[in-house]
Amino acid sequence: MGRILILNGSPRAPKSNSKRYAGLFMDCCKADYAEITKTNHRELCARTGEYTDLVLAFPLYADGLPVTLLDFLKTLEAEPPQQKPTVSVLINCGFLEYAQNHTAVEMVALFCRQNGWSFGSVLEIGGGEAILDTPFRFLAAGSIKKFARSVEKKRYARFHTTMPLPKSMFLKASAAYWTEYGKKYNISKEEMQTMQIEQT
C-alpha cells in the first residue's frame, strides 16, 4: 500500500467543499492533506515526491482549472520531484451535470501526459455545492469511498455522481439554496437577481 497526499486546489480551500470531500476521502483511507496557497508551491512540489499517489481536489472554475491549481501545476512542471506519484482527480461543480467537469479533468490528464506523470482515478461530482447538505449526501460519500479504494489499491478507475433530481426540481432547490445564502447578508432574492453590473 502506498502513501496518498490530497492537495486542495480550491480558491477558498479552508472553507471549501473540496475540503469536505477530502475529509470524506480520509474517512475511507489514510491520507495526508494540504491546501495550495500562493506561497507554498515549492514546498508542496517537494512533498509530492514522498507519496505514491497525489489526489487533486478542486472545484470547476469558469469551465476549467481554478487559477490556484493552474499556477501550482506550472510550478510542479518546473520543479518536479524525483519520484512522481500517480495523479488522481476529485472534482466537483455546482451544476447538476457531472459531465461539465470533463474538460477540467482532461486538462489535468494533459498536464500528466506532457510531463511524464501517471494519471490515476477520477471522481466527478455534480451538484457539488449542495449535495453534502442534502439527503443525497450518501451518494457523494459512497462514490468517494469507491474512489478512495481505487486510489489506495491502485486499481484506477473513473467514477461520477450527482443528485438524482429532475432538472426542474434541481433549479428550484438551487434557487432556494442561493436565496437562503443571500439572506445571511440581508440581501433579498430580488436584489440578487439584479441585472445591473457596476459601471466603469
Q: Which of 50, 78, 155, 181 binds another protein (CB under 8 A)?
A: 181
Task: Give the separation between CA 118 and CA 115, rounded to whole angstroms.
Answer: 9
Query: Any contact of residue 136 with another protein (CB under 8 A)?
Result: no
Q: Which of 148, 166, 131 is nearest to 2 (CA)?
A: 148
Nearest CB to another protein, comparing residues 17 and 121 = 17
Query: Any contact of residue 118 with another protein (CB under 8 A)?
Result: no
- Cell digits for 14? 479552508
Query: Any contact of residue 68 with another protein (CB under 8 A)?
Result: yes
Nearest CB to another protein, comparing residues 82 and 200 = 200
Q: Within a 10 A sphere around the Cβ of 191, how many other Cβ atoms?
A: 10
Place of cell 508551491: 41
Nearest CB to another protein, comparing residues 10 and 150 = 10
Residues in the chain: 200
Query: Any contact of residue 103 with another protein (CB under 8 A)?
Result: yes
Query: Any contact of residue 82 with another protein (CB under 8 A)?
Result: no
Nearest CB to another protein, comparing residues 5 and 108 = 108
Q: Which of 183, 186, 181 is nearest to 133 (CA)?
A: 181
Task: Give the separation between CA 75 and CA 107, rounded to whole angstroms.
Answer: 15
- Cell digits for 3? 502513501
User: Is residue 146 within 8 Å of 24, Cβ to Cβ?
Assistant: no
Nearest CB to another protein, comparing residues 32 and 106 = 106
Chain residues binding another protein by CB under 8 A are: 10-12, 16, 38, 59, 61-68, 70-71, 73-74, 94-97, 100, 103, 106-108, 110-111, 114, 167, 170-171, 174-175, 178, 181-182, 184-185, 187, 191-200
